[in-house]
């Protein structure tokens, strides 16, 4: 009888520990039953703040690239679509200019595409910007147009046959800064349709300026595809070279991340670059040959840090950053149950020994 009494506290403690282990293993189920939060929605869609959304022109795909270079596919367009420009609207959806299908489309982070507007044949929509009203400002082959989210188009400015506009960004005044690719110029177009020249790139049409981004100082950041350079142009029209890429890189797309670095696509190099304002370049990701990454956008917000391993009882565990309170309560309940059972068994055993 006393042997059983000696085993009782140990058995009780074991049951309590088993309850604790079960409570920890039940964490994923409990989290699923909890009310969803935005962090889990982003994780399911594989999109996080600081990620880069890239239009792969020659593979007809929209992809996500993490700051450490991991590429995942968001959406695959019909063959021959040639997606080029991409921006992110206030709802977090991706608005894409489809050059060869002559369409403007919206793609959700979950990979659902809807058509916003269908242009006339050979319109060739390229870069897409968003104005202060939330409308989409689209570069077409011979026009700068405004498309409302409801799909209503108005022409802001019509270009003559020669310049071939390619990039556009909206400045703090609400004006549109446009690159005229085959004229080798950067121009300003007001919402009322008045055009003024800002800067002529060295080499003229042979420089082939492409997409446009605007940094926190109000300067215009423009890659020139045929001269393999990244330019900074002030609103006063002073241009300087930020970085010279290796020959044959063909830089086209540009965006700016939360650190103020320039994220640039190299179409012929099939690479995504980071260039600091001081002119230091690193490769973020290398794409398959012939991908031709074109437009790029940055998901707003600072990049989500990777959780670091925290040793717990000799086991390295990754801390949960979303709903850890539920696990804490379960763990405490398990420990309390184990302690209660152990104390009860101990008291019973002590009483048995006293009575004997």
The more confidently predicted of residues 161 and 85 is: 85
Give me the pLDDT at residue 46, please.
75
Half-sphere exposure of 151 (CA within 13 A, CB side): 10
Per-residue confidence at 305, pLDDT binned at 50, 70, 90?
low
Beta bridge pairs of residue 53: 64, 297
Burial of residue 207 (number of CB atoms within 10 Å: 0-12, 13-18, 19+)? buried
- Collapsing DSSP to helix, strand or coil, 117 comes out as strand
| Phi, then psi, of 224 in degrees rounded to 5 | -110, 115
Per-residue confidence at 302, pLDDT binned at 50, 70, 90?
confident
Q: Which long-range contacts (CB under 8 A, 24 or more apart) does 33-37 make?
A: 34/323, 34/326, 37/322, 37/323
In this prediction, residues 68-72 reach a mean pLDDT of 96
Handedness of CA 86, 89, 91, 97 (dihedral sign): negative
| Phi, then psi, of 213 in degrees rounded to 5 | -130, 160
Residue 73 has pLDDT above 90, yes or no: yes
From the DSSP assignment, how many helices (H) and strands (E) are in the chain?
Answer: 4, 26
Handedness of CA 180, 181, 184, 186 (dihedral sign): positive
Give me the pLDDT at residue 265, please.
98
Residue 292 has pLDDT above 50, yes or no: yes
Residue 271 has pLDDT above 60, yes or no: yes
Neighbours of 28 (CB within 10 A): 8
Residue pair 39/301 in contact (Cβ under 8 Å)? The answer is: no
Per residue in 241-251, pLDDT (tens digit) is 999 999 999 99
Give me the pLDDT at residue 306, please.
52
Residue 1 has pLDDT above 90, yes or no: no
- Distance, CA of 139 to CA of 97 (rounded, Å): 9
Per-residue confidence at 35, pLDDT binned at 50, 70, 90?
very low
């Amino acid at each position: 009888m006393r042997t059983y009494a000696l085993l009782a506290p140990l058995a009780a403690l074991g049951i309590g520990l088993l309850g604790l282990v079960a409570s920890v293993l039940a964490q994923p189920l409990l989290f699923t039953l909890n009310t969803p939060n935005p962090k889990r929605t982003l994780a399911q869609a594989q999109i996080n703040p600081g990620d880069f959304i890239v239009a792969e022109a020659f593979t007809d795909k929209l992809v996500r690239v993490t700051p450490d270079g991991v590429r995942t596919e968001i959406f695959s367009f019909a063959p021959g679509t040639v997606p080029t420009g991409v921006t992110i609207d206030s709802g977090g959806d991706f608005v894409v200019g489809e050059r060869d299908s002559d369409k403007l489309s919206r793609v959700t982070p979950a990979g659902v595409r809807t058509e916003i507007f269908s242009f006339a044949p050979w319109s060739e929509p390229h870069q897409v910007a968003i104005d202060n009203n939330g409308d989409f400002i689209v570069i077409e082959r011979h026009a700068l147009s405004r498309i409302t989210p409801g799909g209503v188009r108005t022409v802001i400015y019509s270009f003559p046959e020669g310049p071939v506009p390619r990039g556009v960004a909206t400045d703090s005044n609400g004006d549109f800064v446009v690159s005229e690719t085959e004229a080798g110029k950067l121009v300003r177009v007001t919402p009322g349709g008045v055009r003024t020249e800002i800067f002529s790139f060295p080499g003229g049409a042979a420089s082939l300026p492409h997409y446009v981004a605007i940094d926190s100082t109000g300067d215009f950041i423009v890659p020139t595809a045929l001269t393999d350079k990244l330019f900074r142009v002030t609103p006063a029209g002073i241009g300087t070279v930020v970085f010279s890429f290796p020959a044959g890189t063909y830089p086209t797309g540009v965006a700016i991340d939360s650190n103020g670095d320039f994220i640039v696509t190299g179409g012929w190099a099939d690479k995504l670059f980071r260039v600091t304002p001081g002119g230091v370049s690193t490769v973020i990701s290398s794409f398959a040959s012939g991908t031709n990454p074109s437009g790029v956008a940055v998901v707003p917000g600072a990049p989500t840090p990777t959780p670091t391993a925290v040793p717990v009882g000799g086991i390295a565990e990754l801390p949960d950053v979303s709903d850890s309170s539920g696990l804490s309560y379960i763990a405490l309940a398990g420990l309390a149950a184990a302690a209660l059972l152990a104390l009860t068994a101990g008291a019973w055993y002590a009483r048995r020994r006293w009575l004997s």
